[in-house]
Amino acid sequence: MIARPQHIAHPSAPVLTTGRLRLRMPRYEDFAHRLAFYASDRAVWEGGPYTAREAWRLFASEVGQWPLMGFGPFSVDDIGSGQYLGEVGIYQPEGYPEPELGWFVVDGAEGRGIAAEAARAVMEWAAQVFGWDHIDNYIDPGNQRSIALGLRLGGVMVDAPGDDPTDVVIRHDLRALA
């Protein structure tokens, strides 16, 4: 089991960059994108769709992990255009057995490798900052696209607890990334 940090590594998200992407601290205006996602049928894999009030509470609690836990979601922007593309980060709400690597992208960013590129950057950052040996994805068994992405990122399915007893748990070995 991964222990929660004894000190806060980052009270706010650092900026990570890849060849195409800038990962940064979420801002208030990013909520509009999250609300659109949470109100859509795509949110079924996250327990939704959600009302605006429910979506706000989820967004605010996830962003609030930064000062409380030293990790959380990164908003993902296109470096060239500045366009918001989605969110990738580390989540551990109350009840999660360990920190989870999760993602979502806006409709226009699907199928372009955005989530994979951002997830690799977050895994490298987590390995360097926290020294964790692994991080997991907790994925609804019906979410075949996310399962495929977790496996494409080099993860393997393991028999471990997720957020829900039916979750597919995909584990990523971070030791080689540090």
SS (H, E, C) 114-126: HHHHHHHHHHHHH
In a domain, 9, yes or no: no
Tell me what the pLDDT averaged over the chain comes to: 91
Q: Which residues pair with 122 in a beta bridge?
A: none
Cβ neighbours, 10 Å, residue 98: 20
Q: Convert the pLDDT of each residue in 149-170 to its tens digit.
A: 999 999 999 999 999 999 999 9
The range of the structural domain enclosing residue 145 comes to 16-173
pLDDT one-digit tens code per residue, 95-109: 899 999 999 999 889
Q: Sign of the CA dihedral 102, 107, 109, 113?
A: positive
Coil, strand or helix at 171: strand
| pLDDT for res 124 | 97
Q: Domain for residue 8, yes or no?
A: no
Q: What's the pLDDT score for residue 2?
A: 53
DSSP symbol at 137: E
Query: Is residue 5 one of the residues assigned to a domain?
Result: no
Q: pTM above the 0.85 mark?
A: yes
Residue 7 lies in a domain: no
CATH number at residue 126: 3.40.630.30
> Looking at residue 154, what is its pLDDT?
96
Q: Is residue 3 part of a domain?
A: no
pLDDT for position 129: 93
pLDDT beyond 70 at 6? no
Q: How many domains does the chain have?
A: 1
